[in-house]
């Protein structure tokens, strides 16, 4: 059999991003409660903030599906006006919102976006690494609008949550993995959902390529090959 024939097919695994797929723990339970209480948001907006991999984007996607919100990238504010970005929508997710702030145009369009949603009686969900109160906002009106939006922090996952996430990620792929593999990974990967996903992706691919079961020796070998880390995505 040729080498090419032994390689696994590069089939994308669809991440599970529904509400039932989000594991609740002390690090994120307040944020989850806010998502669950929508549309009963007192300021018709919410800012989720915390480190990369804490689950902000997952929760934002949960809310987007429930609310019918459009998703807007900060870079899009540099290219298009808010009415065009929103279309007829009255709910919006702006992921990594702080990225829009460095340019005058980005700040002005963010303010326009917030005001337009208010006019429509709509809702806005922001995500960022830092709370809006810590952003450098030179535009007074924008600073005032952001200050009125409740900010909720998500902390980095603890070991128990990472273990639970790893178990779920393996189960999503219908992979049966021994508990010692999960414990081995938990002790060695970054405490983030992104790192857990990267570890499961890498192990699944390596097991397919080598036609091996996912075991501690395979995980140790893969970590050694990758310089004791896994390639992560934000």
DSSP states of 108-165: HHHHHHHHHHHHTT-EEEEEESS-GGGS----HHHHHHHHTS-EEE-PPP-HHHHHHH
pLDDT averaged per 10 residues in sequence order, the chain, 234 residues? 31 44 84 95 96 88 95 91 96 95 92 97 97 94 96 92 91 92 93 86 92 94 75 37
> What pLDDT is stored for residue 193 in this prediction?
81
Contacts of 144 (CB under 8 A, 6+ apart): none
> In the CATH scheme, what is the code of domain 157-225?
1.10.8
CA distances (Å), 10 to each of 13, 179, 196, 201, in order? Answer: 9, 27, 19, 11
Structure confidence at residue 55 (pLDDT): 87
What are the extents of the domains in the chain? 26-153, 157-225
pLDDT value, residue 233: 36
Q: What CATH architecture applies to the domain 26-153? A: 3-Layer(aba) Sandwich (3.40)
CA neighbor of 70 nearest in space, from 115, 119, 122, 33: 122
Per-residue pLDDT, 201: 92
pLDDT score recorded for residue 192 = 83
What b-and-e string marks burial along 102-135, b requiring 16 or more CB atoms within 10 Å of the CB?
eeeebbbbbbbbbebbbeeebbbbbbbbebbeeb
């Amino acid at each position: 059999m040729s080498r090419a024939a032994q390689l696994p097919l590069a089939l994308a695994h669809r991440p599970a991003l529904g509400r039932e797929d989000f594991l609740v723990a002390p690090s994120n339970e307040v944020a989850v409660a806010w998502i669950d209480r929508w549309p009963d948001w007192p300021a018709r907006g919410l800012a989720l903030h915390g480190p990369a991999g804490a689950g902000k984007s997952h929760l934002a996607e949960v809310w987007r599906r429930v609310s019918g919100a459009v998703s807007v990238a900060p870079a899009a504010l540099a290219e298009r006006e808010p009415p065009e970005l929103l279309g007829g929508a009255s709910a919006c997710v702006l992921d990594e919102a702080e990225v829009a702030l460095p340019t005058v145009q980005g700040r002005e369009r963010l303010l326009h976006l917030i005001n337009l949603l208010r006019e429509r009686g709509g809702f806005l969900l922001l995500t960022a690494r830092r709370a809006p109160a810590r952003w450098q906002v030179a535009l007074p009106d924008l600073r005032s609008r952001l200050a009125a939006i409740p900010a909720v922090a998500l902390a980095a996952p603890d070991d128990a949550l990472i273990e639970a996430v790893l178990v779920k990620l393996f189960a999503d792929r219908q992979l049966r993995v021994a508990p010692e593999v999960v414990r081995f990974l938990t002790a060695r990967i970054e405490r983030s959902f992104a790192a857990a996903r990267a570890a499961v992706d890498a192990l699944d691919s390596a097991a397919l390529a080598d036609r091996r079961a996912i075991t501690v020796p395979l995980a140790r070998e893969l970590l050694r090959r990758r310089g004791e880390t896994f390639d992560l995505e934000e």
